[in-house]
C-alpha cells in the first residue's frame, strides 16, 4: 500500500496578478491531500461521500462517476495524465483532503499532485517534484482552461516559493513564518469563474493593469521583508495586497470587517486564492489567542504550519 501526502497551498502575495506574469509568493502547509494507492484488478477511486466516487473499466475509461463535478474532473484528468506519462495501472485509490473543496487552499492542485505521485509510486516509478509540478499544472490547465503554475508547483515542491510564470521559474525563500491561521468564510463562485471575471474587468479598463503591476511590486517588496525576518513588514504588505485585490473586486466587506476585528491578534491578513470569500490567511501574533477569537466569532479556522517537504510518500 502506497500513501502520499501533497500539501495545501496558501498564497501569501500575488494571486490573480500571477496569471498576468507578475511574481507571487506562496507557501505549502501541513494540511492537504492524502492518497492511498493499492494495486488490484480494477481502477477505483473513492473520495468520501462529500466528494466523489469513480470506477474505471478495464480499458481505463470511466465506467461510472458520481459526486462533486469539479472534483471529479480533476481526478479523472489526473488519472489520464498519469496513465499517459507513467503507463497503465490497475489500482484502487482513496483520496482525502484536510480542507473542504474550493476554499482557496489549492485543494484541486494538491489532489492532482497527490494522485500523480501515488500513481507513479504504485507503479514503482520515481518522479521528481518538478515533473510532478509540470504534469499537475497540465491537469489544472485542462480542467480550468486558465491556471498559473503556482499552486501545483508549491504543492509538489513544498516550502515558501517565489513563483514567476513567463517563463516559469521558482525560487525557494527563507522565512521567519512558522505558522499561519486560516479563517474560512463562505465562498461565492469557483476559481475558474472568478479568474474569468477579473480578466473581464482587466479587458474593460486599462487602469487595472496598474493594480496588477502594483501587486507584483508588493511581492518583490515582501521578499525583502521575508529575508529580514520582519513579520510587521509582511503583515502590513499583506493588508495592502488585500486592498489591491479589493480593487479587482474579489474581496468582500466581510473580509475587511474580519481583518479589522482581528487587528489585536495579527500582524496582517488577506484573502488567499481567488477570493470572494474562502480562505483568509492570517499572520498571527499569538496563534492560540487568534484561534480563540475566531472560535468565539463562530468562524471555521485551521491552525497550520509551513510544510517544507512537498508531495511525498508517508
Ligand atoms: C488560485 O489559487 C490563484 C489564482 O491566482 C489563479 C491562478 O494562479 O491560477 C487566482
Please report, for the domain that includes residue 123, its CATH number.
Answer: 3.30.230.10
Q: Is the CB of 106 under 6 A from ligand 1?
A: yes
pLDDT at residue 34 greater than cutoff 50: yes
DSSP 42: S
Asked if residue 96 and residue 198 are part of one domain, the reply reads no
* Segment 288-302 mean pLDDT: 97
Q: Which of 271, 201, 277, 266 is nearest to 26 (CA)?
A: 271
SS3 letters across 153-184 = HHHHHCCEEEEEECCEEEEEECCCCCEEEEEE
Peptide bond into 3 cis (omega under 30): no
* pTM of the complete model beyond 0.85: yes
Question: Is 101 inside a domain boundary?
Answer: yes
Tracing cell 480550468 back to the chain, one arrives at 144
Give the cell for residue 241.
Answer: 495586497
Distance 151 CA to ligand 1 centre (A): 7
Residue 104 confidence (pLDDT): 80
If one counts every other C-beta atom within 10 angstroms of the C-beta of residue 33, the result is 30
Question: Is 313 inside a domain boundary?
Answer: no
Give the integer Cα–Cα distance in Å for 204 and 70: 29
DSSP 306: B
Distance 43 CA to ligand 1 centre (A): 31
Asked if residue 221 and residue 195 are part of one domain, the reply reads yes
Residue 76 confidence (pLDDT): 87
Residue 102 confidence (pLDDT): 76
CATH code of 245's domain: 3.30.70.890
> What is the position in ligand 1's atom list of the atom closest to the CA of 150?
8
Question: Is 229 inside a domain boundary?
Answer: yes
Residue-wise pLDDT for 127-160, tens only, equals 999 999 999 999 999 998 888 999 999 999 999 9
Distance 274 CA to ligand 1 centre (A): 6
* Segment 275-288 mean pLDDT: 96
113: helix, strand or coil: helix
Domain boundary among 173, 206, 221: 173
pLDDT band of residue 58 (cuts 50, 70, 90) is very low
Q: Is the CB of 151 under 6 A from ligand 1?
A: yes
Residue 209's domain comprises: 179-305
Q: Which of the two residues, 72 and 165, has the higher pLDDT score?
A: 165
Residue 165 confidence (pLDDT): 94
Q: Is the CB of 191 under 6 A from ligand 1?
A: yes
Active site residues: 151
What are the residues whose beta carbons fall under 8 Å from the beta carbon of 306, sequence distance 6 or more?
A: 27, 28, 29, 30, 159, 160, 175, 177, 178, 179, 180
Residue 101 confidence (pLDDT): 77
pLDDT at residue 211 greater than cutoff 90: yes
Asked if residue 205 and residue 164 are part of one domain, the reply reads no
Q: Is the CB of 270 under 6 A from ligand 1?
A: no
Give the cell for residue 22.
Answer: 507578475
Amino acid at each position: 500500500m502506497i500513501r502520499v501526502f501533497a500539501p495545501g497551498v496558501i498564497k501569501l502575495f500575488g494571486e490573480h496578478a500571477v496569471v498576468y506574469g507578475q511574481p507571487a509568493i506562496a507557501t505549502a502547509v501541513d494540511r492537504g491531500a492524502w492518497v492511498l494507492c493499492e494495486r488490484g484488478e480494477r481502477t477505483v477511486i473513492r473520495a468520501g461521500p462529500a466528494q466523489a466516487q469513480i470506477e474505471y473499466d478495464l480499458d481505463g475509461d470511466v465506467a461510472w462517476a458520481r459526486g462533486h463535478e469539479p472534483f471529479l474532473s480533476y481526478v479523472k484528468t489526473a488519472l489520464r495524465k498519469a496513465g499517459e506519462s507513467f503507463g497503465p495501472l490497475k489500482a484502487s485509490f482513496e483520496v482525502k483532503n484536510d480542507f473542504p473543496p474550493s476554499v482557496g487552499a489549492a485543494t484541486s492542485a494538491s489532489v492532482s499532485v497527490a494522485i500523480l505521485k501515488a500513481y507513479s509510486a504504485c507503479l514503482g516509478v520515481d518522479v521528481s517534484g518538478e515533473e510532478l509540478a509540470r504534469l499537475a499544472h497540465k491537469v489544472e490547465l485542462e480542467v480550468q482552461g486558465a491556471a498559473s503554475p503556482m499552486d501545483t508547483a508549491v504543492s509538489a515542491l513544498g516550502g515558501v516559493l517565489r513563483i514567476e510564470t513567463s517563463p516559469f521559474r521558482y525560487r525557494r525563500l527563507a522565512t521567519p513564518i512558522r505558522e499561519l491561521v486560516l479563517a474560512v468564510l463562505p465562498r461565492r463562485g469557483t476559481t475558474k469563474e472568478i479568474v474569468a471575471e477579473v480578466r473581464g474587468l482587466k479587458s474593460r479598463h486599462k487602469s487595472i493593469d496598474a493594480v496588477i503591476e502594483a501587486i507584483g511590486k508588493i511581492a518583490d517588496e515582501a521578499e525583502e521583508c521575508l529575508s529580514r525576518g520582519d513579520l510587521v513588514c509582511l503583515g502590513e504588505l499583506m493588508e495592502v495586497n488585500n486592498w489591491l485585490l479589493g480593487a479587482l473586486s474579489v474581496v468582500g466587506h466581510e473580509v475587511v470587517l474580519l481583518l479589522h476585528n482581528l487587528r489585536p491578534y495579527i500582524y496582517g491578513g488577506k484573502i488567499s486564492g481567488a477570493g470572494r470569500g474562502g480562505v483568509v490567511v492570517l499572520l498571527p501574533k499569538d496563534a492560540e489567542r487568534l484561534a480563540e477569537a475566531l472560535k468565539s466569532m463562530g468562524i471555521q479556522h485551521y491552525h497550520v504550519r509551513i510544510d517544507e517537504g512537498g508531495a511525498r510518500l508517508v
